[in-house]
Every structure is written in C-alpha cells, then in structure tokens.
Structure 1
Amino acid sequence: MSRQATPPTSSTSPPHLGPLVAVVTAASAGVLVGLALTATTPVAGIAHVGTAVRVGLPIARVAIDLAAVFATGFALLPLLAGGRTPASSAPVFAKARLGVVASALVWAAAALASLVLQAAEYRPADTALSFADLTSYVSTVAAGKALLVVAGFALSQALIGLAAIRLGPRVPPELVVGCGLFALLPLPVTGHAGDSHLAEYAMVLVELHIVSVVAWTGGLAVTVALVARHRGLLAVVLPRFSRLATICLGVAAATGLLNGIAEFVQHPTVRLWPGLVTTAYGQLLLAKVVALAAVAALGGYLRWKLMPGVVRHRRTALVTFAVVELAIMGLAFGFAAVLSRTPLV
C-alpha cells in the first residue's frame, strides 16, 4: 500500500502564538522573582519611591526588551529566508511586516512609559510629577536622553515598517533591521557599564550582549511562530537561523561572563566569591548563567537532532522544544530587567 503524502500547509495558516506567549509569560515571572530577591536591597542615592514605581520600572524595562526582541525577530525573517522563497510564502512575510510595526510601536510606548517612571523615581518623593520634572530629567540625566532616542528609533522603525507593508520587498529588510539595532544601543551606556572605570570596554561588551541575545531570541520566536507550519520555508529558514544562533550564543556567553566578573572586580569591598551567592546581584547573575546553559543545551538538541528532520520536511517536535527554550529565555530577560537596576552591595 502506498503512503499518502502529507498535504502542503497553506501559507495563510494562523501563526503559532505559543512561542510569543511563552516569552512574555516567563519574562513576567522572571521580573517577579527578581523583585522578590531584591525586595530588601536599598538603591544608594535614590529616595524611597512608591510600590507602583518600584514594580513598574522593571516591568517597563522588560516590555522594552520584549518589544525589541519581537521587532528584531520580525525584521530578521526576510533576511533569514533569503531571496529564493516561493510566491506562496508572501502571506508569511506580510505578517512579519505587520509584526514589525506593532512591536516597534509597543517598543516606543514602553520607552516613554519608562521615561515617566524614571522621572517619578528621580523627583522628590513628596511632589507630584509635572512636565517640568520630565524635561528636567531628560536634560540632566543620561538615561532620560537615552530613552527618548530609543523611542525615536523605534518610531522610525515603525514608519519604515509601514512603508514595507505598502511597498513590499522594495523596502530593504536591512534598513528595517538596522533601525531596530540602533534603538538597542542607547540604554546600555546608562546602566552599570556606564558607571565603570572601564566604561568604554564595558559598554561595548554590554551592547554586543544585548544585540546577540535579542537577535537570537527574536529570530527563534518569529521563526517558530510564523514559519513552523510551512515546511518548505522552514527548511530554508531554520538552518540559516541556527548558524546565527550559534554565533549569538558564543557572543552572549562571553560578553555576559566578562561583564559579570568585571562588576565584582571593580567593586571596592564585594569579591566574586562569596558575592555570587550572598548578594542579590550575584544571585540574579547566577540565575542568568543557569538559564543560558539550559537554552544552549536545548538549542544544541534542536540543531543536531531536530533540524535534519526539518530539512527533510518531516514532522518534528520543533515547536515544543522551541517553546521551552523561549520560556527559559523569557525568564532570563525578566532577571536581566531587575539586574539592570540592582546595585552590587
């Protein structure tokens, strides 16, 4: 008896929402865990603020990070697919262009919300936040300027994405990706790295870390969400993404490790050991390391065990493993959002 061939999947199939939901849910959980670990950690030089601001700031930061992840992932998809894709794949790329616009708008809104919350944290606790407070914060604090730049580049990416929706492939995908990458760069210079006496080197490491993690997570999430149902396109996109992910893993691991060690080395009193286990900063850093090791193991299994079947257009457990990997990545983003505001004390 002859085996009946599996019918091709239509390119109008709905996207897998599981990967996107997994990242958002896990990132939210990571923020809550991080807040619990740092609940009693005072922030030197900053007046006491209300719970809404204290909780809202890491939530806004993780919203910035996740919007950046999705905007970058959607923008990368045409580059991962290359120029030799069938016409039947056009609906997939149309969804990706819509995804760029929606994610970039959320990115800009989250940056502006973070600006308001940071200005509220910066002001005296007994006064109401005014527009003058906002303008003063932007003019005197580097983080305020950085958030405005982020919002500006994110809005620019949304506008370019709208042009891509109208004009299709006539808008170079490199332009969409590049605009998003520029939006990633301002915030790292205002964090821990910017306060270091090795600031020039530390900021480069942090920026490389962020770009690699965002490209890795966004590429995987969008590949699984939009392409997993389309085996022919998946057989082209997944090997390309796998090569990109391998590079991103190496860069993320090296830069993250160096940045974490540098924080301890530069501190006048806290040493790497036992600081890794006795400080909230060290505990969050260890949590990120464990998460990175876990996603590296899952990514290796996906590449060496599942990808050969994908290339042969066979049914695999790709979506299941990718959702688990993305959930762990989301946790790491949540930890990182709190870590960026946690002093080493």
Structure 2
Amino acid sequence: MSVPERTARPGVAGLGLAGLVGVGLIAVVGLVVGTGATPEPPPAGLPDPGVFVAWALPIGRFLSHLLATVTVGFLLVAVVLLPSGDRLEGLAVQAVRIASRAAWGWFAAVALFYWANVADLYARPLSDVGLGQLVDFASVFATGRGLLVQAIAALVVALWSHWTFSVRQLAICVPVAVVGVAAVGLTGHSASAGSHMLATTSLVLHLVGVVVWVGGLIALAWVALRRSRRLDDAVARYSTLAAWCFAIVAISGIISAGVNLGSFGGIDSTYGALVIVKALALVGLGAFGVAQRRRLRLQSAGFTRFAVSEAVLMTLTMAVAVVLGRTATPVGEDVLTSPAELLLGRELPPEPTVGRVLVGFYPDGIGLAVVALGTALYITGLVMMRRRHDRWPVGRTISWFFGLAIVGWATFGGLGAYSSVTFSLHMVSHMMLSMIAPIFLVLGAPMTLALRTLPGPRRPGEHSPRSLLRDALHSPVSKFYTNPIVAAVIFLGTLYAVYYSGLFESMMRTHSGHAFMELHFLISGFLFYYVIIGIDPSPKRLSPLARFGVLMLSVPFHAFFSVALMSSSVIIAESYYQALDRPYATDLAQDQYLGGGIAWAMGEVPLLLVIGAIFIQWFRSDAREATRSDRAADRDEDAALAKYNAYLARLEDDSPAPR
C-alpha cells in the first residue's frame, strides 16, 4: 500500500532552508577566519568602508549562491522531476511557491552584494554610496554588469513563478535562472590570469553544474521529507541529471583550478589548500551519491537521510567555493603585461603559416564547451538508440561530427588562435562558424535525435522533457524565428550591424564579447540553414522550391557585404589592431581587403553545399510521395486511376461528333 502524499507541514521547507543557511554561514565565517582573511582596519588616513561591508561581501555572495541554487532546484522539481500535466499539481505547486520566495531572497542577496561591492570599491560605508556610484559600477565594471544581470534574472523568476502554474511557462523560468547564475561567472579570477576564455567558460559551466546538481538534491530532500509517493520517479530522473552535472563540475573544476594555480607549485598557497579541500569534498559527494543511489535501487529506502546529509555537505562545499573565490590566486595579475596580452589574454602568437593555422591549438573555452557537450550529448543519444535496437542514419552522424570538427578548428584550433589577431583570418573563422559548420550540424538532425531519446511521459498526460522540447519546437517563438524572412534578416543583417558599427571592436576588446560573437555566428547560421535545409521538426515546412528561392534571395546581400568590405577605405576596429602591434600583416587596409575577398570567395562554398542538399531532399521527397501513391493504389486497386479514366471517357462521350 503506497504512502499518501503529504500536503501539510508548510514549515518544513522554511526550517530546512534556514538550517542550510545557518550551516553555510558558520562555515563561511570559520573559513574566513581560518584562512586569515578577516577584515582588518586600513592604515591611518586611508578611507575605510567598515567592518560591515567587509563581512557583507562573503556573506552576500554565499547567500546569493545558495538562494539561486534553491530557486533552480525547486523549479526543476516542479517542472521536470515531479510528474505533472499541463498545470502543476500537488507538491509541484508548493515547490513553485518556494522557488518564488527563494528568488525574492536571491534578488535581495544580490542587491546586498552589489551594494557592498560598490562600497568596497569606493572605500566608504553603505550609507555613503550614492546613486551615481551604483550606476557607474554596472556601466564601467564587468562585475557590476554581471551582478545586474543576475538581479534582473532573479526578479523575473520571482515575478513569473508567482503568477503562473503552467508547466510550459515555468519551463522558461529555469533557463532564465541559469542565465542569472552564469552571468557572474563572466567575472572573477579569470580576469586576472592568462587563458581568460578557458577560465571564464570553465567557471560558468562549473557554477551552472553545481547549481543544478545541488539545487535538485535540496529540493528532492524536501520531497522526501514530505513522503511523496512520486519520490521514486523523481529520484530516477534526477540521477541521470546528477551524473551529467557531476561530470561537468569535475572537468570544469580541474580546468579552472589549473588555470588559476598556474603550476603544481601553487598547491602550497592558501588558494591551493582550499582547492584541495573542495576537490576532496566533490569526490566524496560523487562517491557518496553513487553508493546511496545504488542502495536506494536495491532496498528502496533510506533516501531521506541520505539526501539531507548530502545537501548539508554540498552547502559546506559551496561555502568553501565562496571563500575560494575571494582568495588570491598564485597566478598574479602581472602575468599579462603588454597591451596585446591584455587584449588577447595570452601572448601574441607568432606569424601565421599554413601549418600553424591548420594544426595549431588555442584553449578557447567556448569552442571546447560546444564541441565537448555536442559530442557527449550526441553519443549518448546514439548509445540509447543502439540499446533499443533502433536505426540511425550513418550519414547524419558523420555530418554532425564533421560540423563539430569545423567548429573546433575555427575556435580552439589553429584558425581560432589567429581569429582575434588578423582580420583576414577572423573572417575565415566567421565563415566557418556561420556558413560552413551549421550546414553539417543541421544535417545531423540533433532535434530529431533528442526527440527520440529524451525521457517520455511516466504516466498519461505528463509533460516530459520530450514533450517540452516538442512544444518548444512548435511554439509561437519558434514560429517567429523559423520564419524565412526573420531567419535571413538575423543571418545577414547582423553582418552589417556587427562590422559596420563600433560593435565589432567593442566585442573584440572583451573576452565575453568575443565569446558572444562566436556563439551568435554559430547560432544564426544554424537557424538560417535549419529553415533552408533542416530535416528536424519545424513549425512550417517549406517546399524545396521555396527553400531554393530564399537561398537565392540571400546570396546578393552577402556578396554586397563582401564587395563593400573590399572597397571600404575605413579600417574596421583600427584602434584594436593597432593596439596589438603585431610584427606581421602590418598593412591593415590590405589585410581587410583580403578578408573581404575571403568572404566573397567562401560564399560560393555553402551555396553549392546547400543546393546539393536541397536537390537530394527534393529527390527523396518525390520518391517518398511516389511510394505512398503506389501503396495507396495497391490498397484500393487503382481507384484513383479508374476514376480518372472514367472522367476522360465522359468527356469523350459529351464531346460533339465531328462533321
């Protein structure tokens, strides 16, 4: 006999969260004192923000991390882990209410942390911080912009989750909250050491992985305390998610620690000691989780005690991470000295040669993340298809991985190493990311593979990950962006918007801007070719002739952009390339002319590839239609043909006799 799901005891979540906050705050204070980072008064005569500001920084950061984790976790439980129909029901409703309250607390904690950062920057108490200084912190400093984005995300989630219980609408809150978490990952230790792109991307992935992993477990512990009869279903789905998160956290943590430590000698520092403590805690959590979930599957008991214990241990680990983020790294800020090194985040590479461009390597975090996650997810889908003895076309698999190989070469390969150094090689990278790689990625049919392998409903009428993806592909937003005109405007219009304004130089001067530009090129190209040659589900399928027409209409706009680039007398991002002071390709005008010529010449390559793909799809569509017609004729013994022949016979009988 199943245990009925409890709906009383509303204070359980509040008491549990208060306990986690208390444990975490004690750990933060203890670690700050233990590492000798307690606030000390400045020398006489220097301004002092005060002890309150000094303690508000680590405490505010910890509270924002913990409350963001709780928000994401309870949203995940409500939308993904607990079975629900179109609208939430039972514990899922209460979970969303808790997520909304946690989001308000998250917003308040971020506001406190933002305020304390401004006070610390200007060395004055909180009461003396003015509105102008608060605004300047976001407009001038990357940390301020990241915190502002996080505060906005927390506010949106708090309001949105308060007013709706629709599964489809709440599913949007989860990525919004994740974006808020990721925003602060664009700042931190990655701004004071080499390999900026790698350190920044690994930190973002680390934060997101921790928040999803820890948040899901905290929310599941709450479900277990409520003795929900749907706990087993939720735990089974969470286990897969936790395994992915653990892998992401472990790999990104190793990369981030390696960048910030610089060498094994950095282990002797306070930062190195905290890294070791955090690493041991994460390894212990992983082993503990695997052992307990195995025990749960065998005995179907003991999850509540395990979940609460692991949630406390994860909270302590989060406290270590907060103090770690405020501890000086062994890699000092004087690693990067020249203007070129400060702009690139690394030493200026030697003069490009064919060999260096073809087989070089540059640790670009965005490219590595896209290729690694794309490879892991696609292989997982293939393995699941194989286990079910389902067939998947080999051509799609080859196309997908060939597209990822092009992405890798254009970002962390030899081409990527020079894409931020010379405009001509940047244009090659741009063409690869926006016009070549997306063709093969689209033909790999990743959405179809996801729809065939994502978890389906566990009971009739449930909104599962598969149904959520299907709804997203046919949503009004998808209909808007997959409109051929909209997709073409995004794909081609941004060429002019980026390069014929100051936007290109601004993005090249910041590592987050460069990362955003790479992602935008790849996504805009994927969207355009998704409409033109996509074989995945789409709100509206264009005929082969219409696809060919959209392609032909877009060709002149790209050609005009290339010609205008070649004939322009204005050097794009001139001050940026002058600051690099590279000893090769010193003629900026000639390098830009070469880049325009490359864009013009390479525009023919995707044209031929897409025409070939459209022709093949057209041929296969006609073949399938002919096969369907033959089968229909076999079923009804050519009824349609007999009807048509009878019609011709009537016409002949009704026609006047010749004179």
With the shorter chain as reference, the TM-score category is 0.7 to 0.9
Out of 296, 314, 335, the position equivalent to 2:320 is 335
Aligned-partner residue type, residue 182 of structure 2 = L
Question: Equivalent residue for 2:20?
Answer: 23
How far 1:109 sits from its partner (Å)?
1.0
* Aligned pairs (5 A) from 1:246-261: 246-261=243-258
CA-to-partner distance for each residue in 1:194-236, whole Å, 9 max, x for gaps?
Answer: 3333111211111111111110111011011024434530111
Corresponding residue of 2:639: none
Q: Distance in 1 between matches of 2:299 and 2:228?
A: 10
In the TM superposition, what is the alpha-carbon distance from 1:188 to its structure 2 partner?
1.0
How many angstroms apart in 1 are the aligned matches of 2:121 and 2:178? 28
Partner of 1:298: 288
Deviation of 1:317 after TM superposition, in Å, equals 2.0
1:281–1:344: 8 Å Cα contact kept in structure 2? yes
Alignment of 1:18-167 (within 5 A): 20-40=17-37, 49-81=49-81, 83=83, 90-125=89-124, 128-164=128-164
Q: Give the counterpart of 1:279 among 244, 259, 269.
A: 269
Structure 1, 100-109 or 15-24: larger mean CA deviation: 15-24
State the Cα distance separating 1:161 from its structure 2 match. Answer: 0.3
Q: Which moved more, 1:11-20 or 1:289-298?
A: 11-20
Alpha-carbon displacement from aligned partner over 1:218-260 (angstroms, at most 9, x marks no partner): 1011011024434530111001001111111111111111111
Any conservation in 2 of the 1:74–1:97 contact (CA below 8 Å)? Answer: yes
In 2, Cα distance between equivalents of 1:230 and 1:115: 39
Task: Provide the C-alpha distance between the structure 1 equivalents of 2:18 and 2:108, rounded to a whole number of angstroms.
Answer: 20
Q: 1:113-151 CA distances to partner (integer Å, 9 max, x unpaired)? A: 111100010004599322222222222221112111111
In structure 2, give the amino acid aligned to 1:214: V
The residue aligned with 2:299 is: 309
RMSD: 2.7
1:10 is matched with 5
1:59-93 deviation per Cα after TM superposition (whole angstroms, max 9, x unaligned): 000111011111001110134336567x9x82201
TM-score (norm 2): 0.46
**In structure 2, distance between residues paired with 1:231 and 1:63:** 28
Aligned counterparts, 1:224-263, within 5 A: 224-263=221-260
Alignment partner of 2:89: what SS? helix
Change beyond 3 A, Cα 1:49–1:290: farther
Q: Retained in 2: the 8 A contact 1:157–1:176?
A: yes
Output the amino acid matched with 1:23. L
1:313 maps to what in 2?
none
**Structure-1 residue corresponding to 2:210:** 213
Cα contact 2:154–2:180 (8 A) shared by 1:
yes
**Which amino acid letter does the alignment assign opposite residue 56 of structure 1?**
A
SS of residue in 1 equivalent to 2:285: helix
Deviation readout 1:34-82 (Å, 9 max, x if unpaired): 2123325899xx9865321121101000111011111001110134336
Question: Which of the numbers 304, 308, 319 marks the counterpart of 2:304?
Answer: 319
8 A contact 1:228–1:234 mirrored in 2: no
Tell me, in whole angstroms, the C-alpha distance in 1 between the residues paired with 2:289 and 2:37.
36
* 1:222 corresponds to 2:207: no
Contact 2:218 2:311 in 1 (8 A): yes
Q: For 1:119 and 1:281, how far apart are their aligned partners in 2? A: 25
Structure 1: 5+ residue stretches without partners: 266-270, 311-315
Cα offset for 1:286?
Answer: 1.4
- Supply the distance in 2 between the matched residues of 1:84 and 1:326 (Cα, whole angstroms): 25
Change (3 A) 1:282 1:174: same
**Residues 37 and 280 in structure 1, CA contact (< 8 A), matched pair in contact too:** no
Which of these residues, 180, 191, 195, is aligned with residue 192 of structure 2? 195
Contact 1:30–1:333 under 8 Å retained in 2: no
How far apart are residue 294 of structure 1 and its match?
Answer: 1.9
- Provide the secondary structure at the position in 2 that maps to 1:186: helix
Shift of 1:320: 1.4
Inter-partner Cα distance in structure 2 for 1:182 and 1:260 = 23
Question: Is the deviation greater in 225-234 or in 116-125?
Answer: 225-234
Distance in 2 (CA, whole Å) between partners of 1:117 and 1:55 is 9
* Percent of aligned pairs with the same amino acid: 26
Question: Which residue number corresponds to residue 268 of structure 1?
Answer: none
Residue deviations 1:296-336 (CA, integer Å, cap 9, x gap): 122012211123433xxxxx221212121111111111111
Q: Is the 8 A contact 2:82 2:92 kept in 1?
A: no
Question: Number of aligned pairs?
Answer: 322
- Tell me the secondary structure at the aligned position of residue 232 of structure 1: coil
CA distance in 2, matches of 1:40, 1:77: 37
**Deviation digits for residues 150-189 of structure 1 (CA, Å, limit 9, x no counterpart):** 111111111210222xxx2354332011111111111111
Q: Residue 21 and residue 300 in structure 1: after superposition, are their counterparts in 2 closer, same or farther (change >3 A)? A: farther
Paired residue type of 2:105: V
Distance 2:305 2:95 in 1: 21
Greater mean alpha carbon deviation, residues 318-327 or residues 15-24: 15-24
SS in 2 for 1:172: helix
* TM-score (normalised: structure 1): 0.85
